Amino acid sequence: MKKKEPKQTLIKQVNDADDQIRKFVIILTGVAVICVLSYLFTAKFLVKDKTKDTDKKDETSISYDNIRVGNIFNRPYDSYYVLATDLTKDTTYQSLVGTFTTNHSNTKVYFIDLSLSVNKEYIGKSNKNATKASEIKLSDPTLIKIKNGKIVSYLDNKNSIENELNS
């Protein structure tokens, strides 16, 4: 009969450094899993439908034809017109100006929208002899022709403005 030999077992020695590394790896893996799950959750539920973004009706655009009253005398042209009116109420002037600029391609026409709050302080009894923007007073509508930084023509009558733009 053979003698049974005792089975040898290995005893692992775990020191503090190995234990801390193991905990660090477990925590790092947990944080990575949470980050990935958070990304997937927000990507699925918070992303807008891309087809709706292409059908926007209110797109922002910059208009170089609309100016404020304070910029009347500092436009980069020698001669130009400035039409001040409430653009929310009356759009007939826009079509008249379109026809006018087609017929007079070398003449620039700027709009001042009197419905904007920044232009409200300039509404009042017409001042045809203004030499700087702070002296300007406009009625609705007003057409001003500026030449070399000075007012050459100041029309505040609808019929006069239409006649000027139709010429």
The whole-angstrom separation of Cα 160 and Cα 143 is 9
Instruction: Summarize pLDDT for 94-112 with one digit per residue, the tens.
Output: 778 888 877 887 888 888 8
Please state, rounded to an integer, the average pLDDT across all residues of the chain: 80
Instruction: Summarize pLDDT for 27-86 with one digit per residue, the tens.
Output: 999 999 999 999 888 877 776 555 555 555 556 555 657 788 888 888 888 888 888 888
Q: Are 151 and 132 in contact (CB under 8 A)?
A: no
Q: Are 119 and 112 in contact (CB under 8 A)?
A: yes
Phi-psi region at 64: left, alpha or beta (left = phi > 0; alpha = psi -120 to 50) = alpha
Most confidently modeled of 8-12, 49-53, 73-77, 150-154? 150-154
pTM above 0.85, yes or no: no
**Pairing label, strands 79-85, 108-113:** parallel
Band the pLDDT of 120: cuts 50, 70, 90: confident
